[in-house]
Chains A and B, each alone.
Chain A
């Protein structure tokens, strides 16, 4: 196990920031740590790096207890959100600083640095000082510094945050390839769910200092463990309805009784939250037993889709997403919305936890 975190806890001034957190990553695993701001993602990286010390719990790197080891003894590489480049050194010296503590020759260091900066396409700026570089160049220099030592564990703290949009999309494609080439175990922190899904093999969702779910991107999307996880992934956000299913697996939405399938029998009579993603909602002019009446209020394009703003009779707003090809085909005014029961996600209203299909009552 390349990295194991065991029941880590950290608080600042009485406020718990990391709460009995456990996580494992195998060698070469790329794990994105995703969550809302303030959730503790940066603190987690700092605990692993040795910049902070936990109140309890353990950090194990390759089986060795490194909980209290100093940062220079951990064999990790880290890229900070604000780059943390050394302002008085050239970009080359910044990158080389990760190699100078090892007793390598000058030429050996130079060849390794050149190799990595060529990969990251910043070889032409190595002679400059950090303040002369653009944000993208600074970010890649920081990345180069983290990577050049071929560390066992790579910690990346939202490296694309301050990079302009165009470069960000490019890096989102290049980074996973690069990271896989190096083979380090990677912990990648981001606040952008699309980035989390693009970069990681697995996503660890960190909310309020706790890991709520660790799963592959598709699992997180299709089977979110809590309402919050469902809410965090998806753009536009998931539609949520407060419902209480009856024994037949039907719920009331806008005065219509709709079926969500018999697999949710265990939830009968339990106050729940029903989640339907916008792309699972269809809008048509005809009503049937599986529709509920809505008013089509507006339509706006969003990326490669067209989003309809619907409003039910009791004033609830629902979003439906259509493919761009269907843009403009839905008239404003009264209509009927439906969703496939197979796409329904159910969560216990009190705890927020998802209710699995076919669970025993």
Chain B
């Protein structure tokens, strides 16, 4: 949908075109450069990195990645075991299972909110919405104590449960709108045709809301993956996802910078790829439908 040009300038002057080009280039550089640079760093050996001035032209190497993937880092100081792959696996496990659970719990609930007006639904919607803006530590700090008490500290189950606090509100919010968009008469027609409520939900409502469910799931996955503070407080070394793991990686001694860069690249690539794939849904999900584009 093209918008008309600013009035008073029927034809863009060359100056305006140049300025606009310069501005756009500057913006593109500012936002893309860090990613590009870290990618570059991940392909450099330590000595290349430490060279001043920094070089763009160099001999790329995959040694950083192989070190991470193999889990072994051989340096002048000896061989060190790197558990980063385990962090990656934790991220995959936690994000995937959390989203699956949130979908399982959230999609039926979203349907209930869309189709029925009941006070419990209003209460749940209000609570989840108001806590979207509340400081996470407020819930996490007592939770860390409660978890110790319940024996859930440092367990995958505990983490997946806590990750519901991230994924579930998102799914409820987005999927509810998609269910509301389905004409109720379509569901009525299926019921009149002789099908039970459950069949109607599974074969009519859910398939018709599938784009919304997919969008919500993808978005929830990205948010779970990017989460830092939940895992920082409630996970110990062997359960940490990449966000926490990368930080620990940096502070551990004897690690080479190239590997840090490679670790960062491996950590952000999944979400960046997913974001590119699902970018159409991101506006809606990020603002939680605050403004319909």
Contacts and interface: CB of A to CB of B under 8 A. Distances in A.
**Direct contact between the two chains A and B in their complex (CB within 8 A):** yes
B192 A72 contact: yes
B194 interface: yes
Interface in B24-40: none
A51 B188 CA distance: 7
A72 B189 contact: no
A47 to B, nearest CB: 13
A237 interface: no
A171 interface: no
A102 B183 contact: no
B204 interface: yes
A87 B193 contact: no
- The interface centre, meaning the residue of B183, B185, B194 with most chain A CB atoms within 10 A of its CB, is B194
Contacts of B204: 86
A45 to B, nearest CB: 11
Contacts of B190: 86, 97
- The interface centre, meaning the residue of B188, B189, B191, B204 with most chain A CB atoms within 10 A of its CB, is B189
Interface stretch (A75-83, A175-183, A188-196, A328-336): A75-83
B193 A145 contact: yes
B248 interface: no
B179 to A, nearest CB: 15
B192 A78 contact: yes
B205 to A, nearest CB: 11
A49 B188 contact: yes
Contacts of B193: 72, 97-98, 100-101, 145, 149
Nearest to A81: B185
A87 to B, nearest CB: 7
Q: Which 3 A-B pairs have the closest CB atoms?
A: A101-B194, A84-B185, A84-B189
Interface string A57-96: 0000000000000111010111010101111100000000
Interface string B166-193: 0000000000000000010110111111
By size class, the interface of chain A is 20 to 34
A149 B189 contact: no
Contacts of A100: 193-195
DSSP majority for the A interface? loop
A72 B188 contact: no
Contacts of B186: 84-87
B189 A145 contact: yes
A174 B280 CA distance: 48
B218 to A, nearest CB: 21
17 contacts: A51-B191, A51-B192, A70-B191, A71-B192, A72-B194, A76-B192, A78-B188, A78-B189, A80-B189, A84-B185, A84-B186, A84-B188, A86-B186, A87-B186, A88-B207, A101-B194, A101-B195
Contacts of B79: none
B75 interface: no
A84 B187 CA distance: 8
B183 to A, nearest CB: 7
Contact of A80 (B185, B195, B199): B185
A145 B185 CA distance: 14
Contacts of A80: 185, 188-189
Interface of B: 183, 185-186, 188-197, 199, 204, 207-208
B189 A86 contact: yes
A197 B185 CA distance: 28
Contacts of A76: 192
Contacts of A149: 193-194
Contacts of B185: 80, 82, 84
A189 to B, nearest CB: 14
Contacts of A85: 186, 189
Contacts of A84: 183, 185-186, 188-189
Contacts of B199: 101
A143 to B, nearest CB: 12
Contacts of A86: 186, 189-190, 204
A72 B196 contact: yes
Contacts of A102: 194
A98 B208 contact: no
A82 to B, nearest CB: 7
Contacts of B188: 49, 51, 71, 78, 80, 84
Contact of B194 (A82, A98, A142): A98
A82 B199 CA distance: 22
A72 B208 contact: no
B61 to A, nearest CB: 51
Nearest to B188: A51
A71 B188 CA distance: 8
Contacts of B197: 70
B208 A87 contact: yes
A72 B207 contact: no
A100 B208 CA distance: 19
B153 to A, nearest CB: 45
Given A51-B192, A84-B186, A102-B194, 16 more contacts: A49-B188, A49-B192, A70-B191, A71-B192, A72-B191, A78-B188, A80-B188, A82-B183, A82-B185, A85-B186, A85-B189, A86-B186, A86-B204, A97-B190, A100-B195, A149-B193
